[in-house]
């Protein structure tokens, strides 16, 4: 019990991005353990993933409505998981520091949800997918939503690739083009879902810039799901007015300018903490 309590304590002290990554890793490992147990006892093979993946069959969606979200927590192989988690951590850390927990969660879930819908609609709309049996797993749509949201918010942000700094907007354009041209080559559903996530990330950033937020339902559903009381909500809605009027605005502007010129990794620990506190207000 001591080990379990320690693990639970450590998990509860992680930020929302770290918790999501840990859950993704757990969901990747657990099916392998189950397969091993079934193999050792010569039991009929059972696929845990089949309970949570998404298929293009609307009847399956009726029986598994949760699959519009849960498909994202499972991955096909280690490289699939590692690639998604690396991109999510790099871009998600910046979004989390700039906008706080609530906004980050909204973007990520919107990407997963809209990516699943894009996959579902595409397989029932385009003739090329007629009579095609398919299913999809992976968090790529949510990851793309976060990445494209960040690149739309600050296209001049530089990310270090190997030994050179590249503007994030160029990376975003490259990823979108790569998904488009790979649709005929295989994993068509996955690439279409990526594009759905990318679109909603771009669209959501534009709406936020206009002062509109259509994703409050995500936090309300989260609070309902985990029985969070209104006076004890895990996520505190950021106050844009306080953010603009704070005495530290000049410092915030200076930090954002530094990110644009030198990248997020160039920030000092104090500067990162300043951004994080600003995002929580």
**Exposed, middle or buried: residue 85 (CB in 10 Å: 0-12, 13-18, 19+)?**
buried
Span of 30-34, 138-142, 159-163, 192-196 with lowest mean pLDDT:
159-163
Q: What is the mean pLDDT of the chain?
A: 87
Return the CATH number of the domain spanning residue range 53-238: 1.20.1540
Range 240-245 average pLDDT: 45
In this predicted model, what pLDDT tens digit does every residue of 89-107 receive, in sequence order? Answer: 999 999 999 999 999 999 9
Integer angstrom CA distances of residue 169 from 202, 205, 245: 12, 14, 29
**Domain map of the chain by residue range?**
53-238
Residue 248 has pLDDT above 90, yes or no: no
Q: To the nearest 10°, the Cα dihedral for 106, 112, 114, 118?
A: 170
3-state DSSP call for residue 49? helix
């Amino acid at each position: 019990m001591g080990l379990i309590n320690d693990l639970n304590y450590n998990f509860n002290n992680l930020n929302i991005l770290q918790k999501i990554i840990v859950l993704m890793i757990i969901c990747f490992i657990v099916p392998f353990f189950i397969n091993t147990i079934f193999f050792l006892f010569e039991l009929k093979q059972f696929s845990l993933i089949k309970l949570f993946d998404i298929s293009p069959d609307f009847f399956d969606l009726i029986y598994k409505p949760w699959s519009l979200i849960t498909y994202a927590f499972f991955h096909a192989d280690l490289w699939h998981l590692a690639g998604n988690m690396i991109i999510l951590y790099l871009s998600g850390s910046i979004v989390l520091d700039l906008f706080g927990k609530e906004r980050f969660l909204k973007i990520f879930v919107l990407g997963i949800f809209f990516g699943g819908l894009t996959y579902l609609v595409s397989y029932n709309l385009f003739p090329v997918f007629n009579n095609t049996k398919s299913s999809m797993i992976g968090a790529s749509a949510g990851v793309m939503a976060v990445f494209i949201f960040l690149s739309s918010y600050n296209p001049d942000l530089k990310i270090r690739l190997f030994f050179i700094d590249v503007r994030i907007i160029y990376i975003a354009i490259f990823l979108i083009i790569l998904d488009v041209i790979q649709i005929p080559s295989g994993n068509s559903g996955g690439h279409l879902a990526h594009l759905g996530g990318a679109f909603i990330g771009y669209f959501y950033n534009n709406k936020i810039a206009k002062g509109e937020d259509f994703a409050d339902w995500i936090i309300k559903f989260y609070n309902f799901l985990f029985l969070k009381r209104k006076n004890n909500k895990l996520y505190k809605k950021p106050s844009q007015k306080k953010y603009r009027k704070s005495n530290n605005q000049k410092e915030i502007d200076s930090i954002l300018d530094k990110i644009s010129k030198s990248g997020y990794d160039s920030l000092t620990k104090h500067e990162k903490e300043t951004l994080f506190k600003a995002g929580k207000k």
